Structure formats: C-alpha cells, structure tokens
Amino acid sequence: MNLPESINPRRDTRLDSYVDSYAQRTHGLTVSAVRALFSVANRPEVVSLAGGMPNITDLPRAALGAAMDRLITERGIQAMQYGSGQGEPFMREHIVEVMAEEGIQAHPDDIVITCGSQQALDLVTRTFCDPGDVVLAEAPSYVGAIGTFRAYQVQIVQIAMDDQGIVPQALREAMISLRALGKRVKFLYTIPNFQNPTGVTQTLERRREILAVAAETGLLVVEDNPYGLLTLEEAPIPALRSMEAERVIYLGSFSKTFAPGFRVGWVLAPHGVREKLTLAQEAATLSPPVFSQFAIATYLEQFDWRAQIDVFREMYRTRRDAMLHGLAEHMPAETTWTNPRGGFFVWVTLPEGLDSQAMLPRAVTARVAYVPGTAFFADGLGSRNMRLSYCFPTPERIIEGTRRLGEVLHSERELNETFGIGTTAMRYLDSSSSPAPDIS
C-alpha cells in the first residue's frame, strides 16, 4: 500500500523516524555511558562485582516445582485468571505478616500489590509528581529510582548522608531553601536499610530525627525497604513506617527474600493514597500478576520462608566477609569503604585523582567490573566512588575480584604520579546501545 510520505515511517531516512513524536517526558531518559562495557563484563572470565542480582541458587527448586505443579492442577482456574486491581486479599494478608517481622502493624486494606517495588516507585511518582516537582533522595541513591523520577520530569535533589544515613540538618536546610525558591517538594525517597548503593543503615536515632524533620516541614516520606530482612548482624531496626503511619509510604518486595522473577512487591500507604494508587495500578495493569501472587502465597504457606531467609543471610554473610577481607588485603592506601551490616553492597571511595568511570575499561580488561559512582547521582557527582556488590559471585571469586581491582587501582595511581593527577579521567568511555546492564 502506498502511504503518503508524512505517515509512512519507512520512507523516512532518519535513524529514528518517530523522533519528533516522543513525549516530552522521554527526553530525560538517556543511555547509560557504561552500558557498552557491561556486555563485556558479563563474560565468564570477568568477575562482576557490578550486578545487583539476588543469589537464588539455594532455593529448593524441585520442591517448588512440585508445589507449582499442584497449584496449576488444583487451583489453576483462579490462579490464571484476572484479579483485583489492588492485589489478591490473601496476598495482602500474608504481606501484613511479613511486615510484622520489621515491627510494622498494618491492615491488608491499606496494601496495593505491585510488579516489584520498581512499579511501586512508578505508581507513587505518577500519583504525586507533576513535571518540575522536587523529590528528595539520599546522595547517592538507587539508580532505578533516579530513572523513574527522571521519567516523570521530576527534579531530584540529593541530600548528604554519612555512615548513619541522611544528615537531618542537611534535610532541614534543603527543605527551607527549596520552599524559599517556591519549589513543590513532593516527598523524600529513602532506603533506610543496607542502602543501595552504599550499604549504609540509618540508625534508630537518625530515623527519629528524619521523621521529626519531616513532621516539622510537612514532608511525606517514601521508605523503600527491599533488603530489610537480609540483616547479617543484629535484628532489623524498626521501619520508619512502624514509627509513623500517616506520613510514610512504605515499599516492600519479595525480590530479595524470595525471588525477583515473580515480580511481586507492594505499597503500604495511608488510606487516601492507597485509593489513588489502586486506580493508578488499574490503569497500568488492570491487575498485578495473579499467578505470581498465588505462587508466592503457596511458597509462604508450604515452605519455611523464615528459615530460607536465614539460609540467604548465611550465604550473603560469607560473601560480605570475603569482600571486606579482599578489600582490606588489596586496596591501595587512602581507599575507604563502607561496612554493610546487611544487603548486597559496599561503597568504595578512591584516593584523590582517581576516576572510577574513566578507569572502568581498564578494570574490565583486567577482568573485574563494578558500577561507577556517577550512576547513583542525578548531577554527575560520584566519580571517586564505586559500588561493589557481593551478592552473586562465590567468595573465592569475590576475593579474586578485589585482587584484580587492587592491581588496577595501584597502576592507575602510578600513572597519576608519573603524568599528573587527572590523567585517568582523559580516557573517557563512549557509550553504545548494547543490552541494558543489570546494575539494579
């Protein structure tokens, strides 16, 4: 059929014929400068300390398979049907029980099921934010949240943190100056436990102070807590939501405590917000995946999920210890790193003059990969930082990875000493459109 040229994209000679048609909000979505390297980093000879994939090899797969078999034969008619936009009532009841582990008392009616907590972030942002609104987040913060905020043309203001979490005075000052500028600050996004990317946990005292600043300034708090139950030391610190129900929207997920492939997360929100989120969920998906909810409920009912979390904890503890040991052994002087008490990540600060993004190609050539710190800032900061994850490789590979990384850092320092500080920054990496890396 001969279409007029104006509506026939195939006749257009530009690389992307729809370039003039995309919504404004897509303009903030950019290709990561490190994507090209990650396709190389996924090769088996490279020790990847970059990915944030949960390590699910210890799950009892044969028994799970049998349970899923029974689920389809015995309850498949319901489990494979459309469901409630808010999520299945039995799933929400189970979630109340899971959240009680972290001191949260909630009613199933106040929960909305989502496709992972990533979709929870999307629903919350689309419910609250117009273009130009401000969201506050930790500096640094989760790369996937930064991506969501950008997709809704939100201005991200990152607040200083230290080894106890967000600095309350910095939060207070940011609120005062943003308000003075007439900005609409919609919420604070925070990951209080074993933060992605730093591994830092907010102390109980900090949590109280942050909630006090929020109350003082009328700030809503979005608490993202996918790692909370993966504590490797003491019992979990009470969630912000357990201390303040009306001002906190809580995001949870089964991705780290069970398996991410089911894509089941949730939002626990004050009543009015929950109504809006349910409408947003219906508009987005009609209903969150019903089969996944049946599958997870089956797991929670028929397996000892608390004992399984203990198995995960032991496995991650060994890996965390291997990484801390490897770093102590192999990092050059003046390198510092955080000491995570749970979760997946260690945040490294390099000696002055080293640039983690510029250095990445050499690290990959030396067969070790990490995520440069710049990925976790909205404004290009973080070039002296890197995120290392210990969740996936074996302890031996983790130690070997830190050894390789140590060698790269030592040789980068020598180059700097020979040719002057900043030499490494000149070997800047070009981007390309290879598949998206797993830097979640």
Given the rule CB under 6 A, which residues bind ligand PMP? Answer: 52, 116-118, 142, 144, 191, 196, 224, 226, 253, 255, 260, 265, 440
Read off the tokens for 145.
């949240």
Q: Smallest distance from the beta carbon of 178 to ligand PMP, in angstroms?
A: 24
**Three-state DSSP class for 111?**
strand
Which CB sits closer to ligand PMP, 242 or 253? 253
Q: Smallest distance from the beta carbon of 358 to ligand PMP, in angstroms?
A: 26
Read off the tokens for 213.
């600043």
Q: Smallest distance from the beta carbon of 253 to ligand PMP, in angstroms?
A: 3
Enclosing H/E stretch for 1: none
Enclosing H/E stretch for 345: strand 345-349
**Three-state DSSP class for 49?**
coil
Q: Smallest distance from the beta carbon of 189 to ligand PMP, in angstroms?
A: 9
Strands 111-114 and 336-337, sheet pairing = unpaired
Is the CB of residue 81 less than 8 Å from the CB of residue 311? no
Q: Smallest distance from the beta carbon of 226 to ligand PMP, in angstroms?
A: 5
Maximum pairwise Cα distance, the chain: 71
Q: Smallest distance from the beta carbon of 375 to ligand PMP, in angstroms?
A: 12
Q: Taking CB positions, which residue lies at the least distance from ligand PMP? A: 116
Which CB sits closer to ligand PMP, 226 or 342? 226
Burial class (CB in 10 A: 0-12, 13-18, 19+), 411: middle
> With left for phi above 0 and alpha for psi between -120 and 50, is residue 343 left, alpha or beta?
left
Which CB sits closer to ligand PMP, 197 or 326? 197
Which CB sits closer to ligand PMP, 51 or 406? 51
Which CB sits closer to ligand PMP, 255 or 402? 255
Is the CB of residue 327 less than 8 Å from the CB of residue 399? no
Which CB sits closer to ligand PMP, 29 or 421? 29
